[in-house]
A and B are shown apart, each in its own frame.
Chain A
Amino acid sequence: MTTVIEQTVRPARRWRRALGGILDNPALAIGLGILAVIVFAAVFADWISPFDPLRANPLARYKGVFSGWNLLGTDELGRDILSRLIHGTRYALLVAIVPTVIALGIGGLLGMIAGYIGGFVDTVIMRFFDIMFAFPGILLALGISAALGPGLSSMIIAMVVVTVPAFGRIVRGAVLQVKEEVFIEASHALGFRARRIALRHILPNILGPAIVYGTLQTGRNVILSSSLSFLGLGPQPPAPEWGQMLSSGRTALATAAHVATIPGLAIVVLAVAFNLIGDGARDYLDPRFNKQRD
């Protein structure tokens, strides 16, 4: 029924209704608001950051917060922390979103194959996932990044490898559920080919859980990536990457605490934003879950 009603609503009204839905859900609205600010900073970093994030100034090291034009002070090389923070949004968004999208693609495909074909293929894929789950995520990611050599690309590869199984499981579970629905049975009865059923009928119906889980995973990726960077496995200095900034500022904790704590705060804010969006999206896309929680 609902799909029929939705199709008759004019696009403009649909947008307005979606916007209303977002505003009714304060968590989602706050999360999206924070993310919008961070995306704005990432896109316009070159214009809005007051200084060059890489320019060192040995005469102005460890300046405190609100000292002159350096609103958030300077770091161990006299670089402007605010400018580094603004440019760091690019790395932060990149290492949170790109691994999620790739892992969703690979895991989703494997999960769909496992769930749709079933039988031996399903067993093989699921046993493979079981083995991956035997590793606590950060450990395996640490091992892969360390073996491949520190850097942005090996960090992303490592994050993809450790997050694929979870996406695979979620999508497989969703496929198994949808497969039992009457409309799938009807498609079989109508003689549609397997590929058409998978792409046109199953895929649209599993997107909801996949998107919700993907958003929550993006929040976890913010923490995972900053942890790997903190351990020295991410983008290398002088890149303005938040985890790396925190790690190098840690030596001056007693005298210039802001150098390490401010990038950490930025990480928390971004992770909170994705978690709020994920929770909000779950309530929005799956009202059943909302009721269960209350």
Chain B
Amino acid sequence: MLVFALRRAFQIVPVIIGVTIATFLLAKIIPGDPADMLLGATASEEAKEALRLSMGLHEPAYVQYLIYVGNLLQGDLGQSFTFAQPVATVILDRLGNTALLAVAAIILAAIVGVAAGTWAALKPGSLRDQSLSVVVLFFNSMPSFWLGLVLIMIFGLHLRLLPVAGMQSVGGGDGVLSLIAHMILPSITLAAWSLATIARMTRSSLLEVINSDYVRTARAKGMRESRVVLRHALPNAMPQIITVIGMQMGFLLSGAVLTETIFSWPGIGLAMYQAISTRDIPLIQGGILILALAFVLINFAVDVLYSYFNPKIKL
């Protein structure tokens, strides 16, 4: 497994370099003078010229890229003019909040998704199996921000059961309970798409192993169907299910942009949304870079886990 991990780690190096090239190019495709864009319309000519020099805008593109990477390695992601702070500070302050929401959502999606998928696979073709397909279809066809609005409307505005914005109540937080209450609706919103995907994949990977010989043997022994599925089929379908869950984790980090915007959740996504309206490109660039790197690293971790659970996999 260690060899696998090292080999896989070696493979992601070019991907990470590619990611930095792509985020570097984002600033290059801005129409017009990047200095205007990056500093905002109000900046002085001197400040713009200083930025042009520091970014090496008078240099050839590859030098500019090397300067960009050099800055990244020193933790310099540029300056956000929306927040009047370094981009790295803005992101670091909010990374925890985004991760908290994403982790809550993945736990919800994994538990409910695997349970629903297993429940449907117990009786393929039955009414409950078909109703799961319908639910999956709707969850996969629903923009998360719309689901968020509907949840806010029902649970926040009509039933007045749950808070609908931010992380803590106005006028001082009441600690963990208040935080959990604030997390419920955003987590459901963020989890919906992944939950449907995980349920669908659990169902199909279970149905695949259910046709194996050892499952037939277990049934021939007269074992109860639920026990056959839970004890024999599910553990063997697990590697595939774990891969899907891991991939969803990465998507959840990016789905945070929409969910955080709807629920005013103070994470990277909300900051990026605020950056869109002011065209604060360095912040958007930095947010994309950090979330993409997180995505790459999570996928790496999932692959290593996968090889641990499934030693047949060789690179």
Seen from chain A, the residues whose Cβ lies within 8 Å of a Cβ on chain B are 127-128, 130-132, 134-140, 142-144, 146-150, 219, 222-223, 226-227, 230-233, 243, 246, 250, 253-254, 257, 260-261, 264-265, 267-268, 271-272, 275-276, 292-294
Q: How far is the CB of A92 from chain B (nearest CB, A)?
A: 12
Cross-chain contact B291 with A139 (CB below 8 angstroms)? yes
Known A-B contacts A131-B22, A138-B254, A293-B204; the reply to A253 vs B149 at CB < 8 A is yes
Q: A230 touching B253 by the CB < 8 A rule? A: no
Q: Taking CB as reference atom, which chain B residue is nearest A131? A: B18
Q: When chains A and B are docked, how far (Å) is the Cα of A222 from the Cα of B142? A: 10
Q: Is B251 an interface residue (CB 8 A)?
A: yes
A264 and B149: CB pair below 8 A?
Answer: yes
> Which residue of A144, A149, A243, A292 is within 8 Å of B31 (Cβ)?
A149
Choose one: A127, A134, A147, A226; the contact of B29 (CB below 8 Å): A147
CB of B171 closer than 8 Å to a CB of A: no
Inter-subunit contact B251/A257 (CB<8 Å): no
Chain B contacts of A227 at CB under 8 A?
Answer: 143-145, 258
* Distance of B149 from chain A, by nearest CB (Å): 6
Of B51-59, B176-184, B230-238, B275-283, the one with at least 4 CB within 8 A of chain A: B275-283
State how many angstroms separate the Cβ of A154 from the closest Cβ of chain B: 9
Complex-state Cα separation, A144 to B27, whole angstroms: 9
Question: What B residues does A243 contact at CB under 8 A?
Answer: 143
Q: Are A136 and B291 in contact (CB under 8 A)?
A: yes
Taking CB as reference atom, which chain A residue is nearest B149?
A: A260
Chain A residue numbers with a CB within 8 Å of B261 are: 230-231
Q: Which residues of A contact B296 (CB under 8 A)?
A: 134
B15 and A131 contact, CB distance less than 8 A = yes
Whether the pair A140, B141 counts as a contact (CB closer than 8 A) is: no
Choice from B27, B208, B295 contacting A134 with Cβ under 8 Å: B295
For chain B, give the interface size range.
Answer: 35 or more
- Tell me whether chain A's interface is mostly helix, strand or loop, or mixed: helix
* Residues of chain B at the chain A interface (Cβ within 8 Å): 14-16, 18-19, 21-23, 26-27, 29-31, 124-125, 137-138, 140-146, 149-150, 152-153, 157, 204, 207-208, 250-251, 253-255, 257-258, 261-262, 272-273, 275-277, 279, 281, 284-285, 287-288, 291-292, 295-296
7 pairs of A and B residues whose beta carbons are closest in the complex: A131-B18, A136-B254, A264-B146, A271-B141, A272-B141, A139-B254, A143-B288
Give the residues in chain B near A253, CB-CB below 8 Å: 149, 152-153, 157
Q: Is the CB of A232 within 8 A of B276?
A: yes
Which of A137, A143, A246, A253 has the most chain B CB within a 10 Å cutoff?
A143
Given contacts A135-B295, A138-B257, A230-B145, contact A276 B137 (CB under 8 A): yes
A-B contact pairs, 23 of them (CB 8 A): A131-B18, A138-B257, A139-B254, A143-B23, A143-B284, A146-B284, A147-B27, A147-B281, A148-B29, A222-B141, A226-B143, A230-B261, A233-B276, A246-B149, A254-B157, A257-B153, A261-B149, A267-B146, A268-B141, A268-B143, A271-B142, A272-B141, A294-B125
Cβ 8 A contact of A142, one of B124, B250, B257: B257
Q: Report the separation of the CA atoms of residues A254 and B157 in the bound assembly, to the nearest whole angstrom.
A: 6
Question: Beyond A139-B288, A139-B291: 17 further Cβ-contacts under 8 Å?
Answer: A131-B21, A136-B291, A140-B292, A143-B26, A143-B288, A146-B276, A146-B284, A147-B29, A147-B30, A147-B284, A223-B142, A233-B276, A264-B143, A268-B143, A271-B140, A271-B141, A293-B204
B153 touches A261 (CB 8 A): yes
Contact B143 A142 (CB under 8 A): no
Is B153 touching A134 in the complex (CB atoms < 8 A)?
Answer: no
- List the A side residues contacting B262 at CB < 8 Å: 250
Report A-chain residues with C-beta under 8 Å of the C-beta of B204.
Answer: 293
* Chain B residues near A150 (CB-CB < 8 A): 276
> Which residues of the other chain, B, contact A136 by a CB distance below 8 angstroms?
250-251, 253-255, 291-292, 295
Q: Which residues of A contact B30 (CB under 8 A)?
A: 147-148
Bound complex: CA A64 to CA B256 (Å): 32
Question: Which residue of the partner chain A has the closest CB to B291?
Answer: A139
Bound CA span A292–B281, Å: 47
- Using known A-B contacts A142-B288, A146-B281, determine if residue A135 contacts B19 with beta carbons closer than 8 Å: yes
The reply to whether A246 and B146 contact each other, CB–CB distance below 8 Å, is: yes
Please, which residues of chain B bring their CB within 8 A of the CB of A231?
257-258, 261, 273, 276
Q: Chain A residues with Cβ under 8 A from B31's Cβ?
A: 148-149
Complex Cα distance, B205 from A292, in Å, reads: 11
Chain A residues lying within 8 Å of B288, measured Cβ to Cβ, are 135, 139-140, 142-143
Question: Which residue of chain B is the closest to A271 with respect to CB atoms?
Answer: B141
Tell me the minimal C-beta distance from B287 to chain A in angstroms. 8
How far apart are B193's CB and chain A's nearest CB, in angstroms? 9
Residues of A within 8 A of B141 (CB): 219, 222-223, 268, 271-272, 275
Contact residues in A for B276 (Cβ distance below 8 Å): 142, 146, 150, 231-233
Bound Cα distance A257, B250 (Å): 32
Within the complex, what minimum Cβ distance (angstroms) separates B194 from chain A? 12
User: Closest CB-CB distance, A249 to chain B, in whole Å?
Assistant: 9
With A250-B149, A268-B142, A275-B140 known as contacts, the answer to whether A134 contacts B19 (CB < 8 A) is yes
Q: Is the CB of A130 within 8 A of B18?
A: yes
Contacts of B279 in A (CB 8 A): 146, 149
